[in-house]
Amino acid sequence: MARTAYVTDLKSLQGECSANYLRLVRLVGDMEAGQRRDIALRGDKHYFGDLHLYIQEQAPYTTMVDVSQTGPLDTVLEGPRMRVHLYHDVRMAEVTDFQRERHFNGRYRYPNARMHQPDEKLQLNRFLGEWLAHGLAHGHTIDVPEIP
């Protein structure tokens, strides 16, 4: 049986990136470079950890946001962390760094040395979308006292 090559689903990837842009803009609001926002993730009676947003760099057409999470299992394993580029002119957000690994291709041959899935880039952006949607649905801004 002949194996067909994976073809990048560009429409789905662009849709995810556009939806993630809207989610991130809602979460970061009017934050500027160097600012951080911590969001406590809670369910009815459960604490899931804290979502951290940090504006790494800001320019007229792009913003780099570091997204990470800390929680109850930090002593066992490191929480997820991503760097996301927001492209304001096209209103899209793209994962450019995940767990300190950079530059993801649109598709990979499988198997490969790094064991990336054929649609790794799409999966990372979908994960970001689910993560941000969870933060919007269950997040509560942590009030941090300002230092005079």
The answer on pLDDT for 106 being more than 70 is no
Beta bridge partners of 139: 41
Task: Kindly give the interhelix angle for 120-138 and 10-28, rounded to the nearest 10 degrees.
Answer: 30
Which of 103 and 58 is assigned the larger pLDDT? 58
Which of 107 and 146 is assigned the larger pLDDT? 107
Helices (H), ranges, the chain: 10-28, 120-138
pTM: 0.81
Residue 82 contacts residue 135 (beta carbons within 8 Å):
no
Q: What type of residue is 102?
A: R
Backbone angle region of 116, left / alpha / beta, with phi > 0 → left and psi within -120 to 50 → alpha: beta
Percent of the chain with pLDDT over 90: 47
Q: What DSSP assignment string belongs to 65-79?
A: EEEEEE-TTTTTSPP
pLDDT of residue 93: 97
pLDDT of residue 146: 47
Mean pLDDT, residues 77-90: 92
Using alpha carbons, select from 72, 78, 51, 64 the residue that is nearest to residue 137: 51
Confidence of residue 115 (pLDDT cuts 50, 70, 90): low
